[in-house]
Chains A and B, each alone.
Chain A
Amino acid sequence: MTSLWGYAFVHQALLAGTITAVVAGVVGPFITTRNMGFAVHGLAEMGFTGAAGAVLFGFAPEVGLVGACFLAALAIGLLGVRLRERDIAIGTVLAFGMGLGVLFLVLYTRYATEAFSILFGAILAVSAEDVVWSAAVGAVVLAAMIAVYRPLRFASVDPDVAEARGVPVRLLSVVFLLIMALAVAEAVQVVGVLLILTLLITPAGTARRLTAHPGRVVAYSILIAVGVTLGGIVGAVYTSWPVSFFVASLSLVAYLLGRTFGARVRA
């Protein structure tokens, strides 16, 4: 069993998993602060439709995945849906997206295996090329997050005063949706569309239980995301059970520990 550690696919999985987890850990705290968990799920499901459509029309699924996430993010952002209507609008659009996805699946039956990996993740199947792709997307997300960090935080926690101070609140909201789309596309390869929240919400949700220090929330969120991802890959290599099962389970454990003991350390 230990001999598996010599294989390139395991190294690639660990590398791509780490990159993805860092990205998810950085973006996650902003998703939770902005209450955008449902939007993340919606983007991911649109990504599934994009991937299915791409395969049907003869493109690589990754292209369809990123493209659809991006378009969906742009649509949500530019339509400027108000908070009150947001869940309804996203819910309606994502259901339509999944409807299209299942149609594509039926029209192109050979897609079933690929559909399974997009829905549930396939980190152990990433190629060296995928790792480079992950690193590139990850670098873009991190650079964008560093560039907008302060005004995005201001706009997220204190929108009225941020606007009064000249922060372009609406623009940042669109920019963050696009950043989120890239983070979703990245995280899909590890945990898949249906388990996306386990990387993009749970580590950040656990971190905010442990500290109220904004910088430390990001740091803890990264550590937790990397921990559960690497733990998930190790678990899968040893047992041949799915990676996403382990990642989601470890996330749940981390969150429950955070909820149980968080209040003691937070004050």
Chain B
Amino acid sequence: MTDWVVQLEHASLRLSGRSIWSDLSVAVPRGEFLVIIGPNGTGKTSLLRVLLGLQPPTAGSVLVNGRAPRRGNPVIGYVPQQRAFDPELPLRGRDLVLMGLDGHRWGISLNERANRARVDRIVALVGAQSYADRPIGWLSGGEQQRLRIAQALVGNPSLLLCDEPLLSLDLHSQHVIVQLIARWRRDHDATVIFVTHDVNPVMSVADRILLLAGARWGIGTVDRMMTSETLTRLYGTPVDVVQHAGRIAVLGADLGGHDPVAAHMEDGA
């Protein structure tokens, strides 16, 4: 019997009167690396928010490990896109990682020593020892994103939700981040759901691709999905998929990807 980590059955989402995706039925088995692509505004991030329990689906059923999504689910690690931190922000790399472990708990920390050992281990795992004690705002995008991975992994997750974690990173950093995630998945039999606008960095590790294209959606292996025929059918407009030197280029369609959000200290107020 397959161990389904995420199951969506006829799930639909409407946000402020607009249909984002509808009749979405996808089952993700344990250990799968699922890549989600699609134009802007087709609800890739919203899908992650549904799995995080932050946004209820409008219709249909959504299960995470066989249960309805709930806020603060400890089995989930979340990696957001890289965004600039204020250089003045009083926060070191290791503090960012530590927040992934106990930042959601009330009160002040009472077991600093055990936490520190745990943070040290995970910082070493992502190879960030040399700069983990520096202010987070002084680090490069690639360095910050390694610490983001550590922050997501420190809670020992079995499901990783990554929302455009490669955005605005150079090619080398993109490769490093993808390899870190792929290694965690392999070593811990973890499931990865990875939103991106460029499939190239994840092609070698992706099991399947889910394309959200507004009215339509499709899911399948990289080879099956990234063809002119499949994308033309899903987008409803002519799309050319060109393979060159092991890289895929999609012509005639927007695969999402927007400028990184500016640094902001949102407080909801």
Chain A residues, Cβ within 8 Å of B203: none
B7 to chain A: closest CB distance in Å? 20
A212 touches B134 (CB 8 A): yes
A34 touches B267 (CB 8 A): yes
How many residues in A have their beta carbons less than 8 Å from beta carbons of B?
Answer: 49
B267 touches A36 (CB 8 A): yes
- CB of A92 within 8 A of chain B? no
Closest B residue, CB atoms, query A149: B108
C-alpha spacing A214/B85, complex, angstroms? 15
Tell me the number of A-to-B contacts counted with CB atoms below 8 Å.
Answer: 126
Chain B residues, Cβ within 8 Å of A29: 90
Chain B 97-109, CB-CB to A under 8 Å as 1, else 0, gives: 0011011111111
C-alpha spacing A39/B134, complex, angstroms? 30
C-alpha spacing A198/B102, complex, angstroms? 33
How many residues in B have their beta carbons less than 8 Å from beta carbons of A?
Answer: 39
B99 touches A146 (CB 8 A): no
- CB of A76 within 8 A of chain B? yes
C-alpha spacing A58/B54, complex, angstroms? 48
B103 touches A151 (CB 8 A): yes
> Contacts A34-B265, A212-B92 hold; do A164 and B54 have CB atoms under 8 A apart?
yes
A28 to chain B: closest CB distance in Å? 11
Q: Chain A residues in contact with chain B, CB under 8 A? A: 29, 33-36, 39, 76-77, 80-81, 83, 86, 146-151, 153-167, 169-170, 173-174, 176-177, 207-209, 211-214, 217, 266-267
Some 19 contacts from A to B, beta carbons below 8 A apart, are: A34-B267, A80-B268, A83-B267, A150-B106, A153-B99, A155-B267, A156-B267, A157-B99, A161-B78, A161-B151, A164-B52, A164-B54, A166-B71, A166-B73, A167-B104, A176-B267, A212-B92, A213-B90, A266-B135
Q: Chain B residues in contact with chain A, CB under 8 A? A: 52-54, 71-73, 76, 78, 80, 85, 88-92, 95-96, 99-100, 102-109, 134-136, 138, 151, 161, 264-269
Given contact pairs A33-B89, A158-B103, A169-B268, enumerate 16 new A-B contacts (beta carbons under 8 Å).
A34-B265, A83-B269, A146-B107, A156-B267, A157-B89, A159-B268, A162-B103, A164-B80, A165-B100, A177-B269, A208-B88, A208-B90, A212-B89, A212-B135, A213-B92, A267-B135
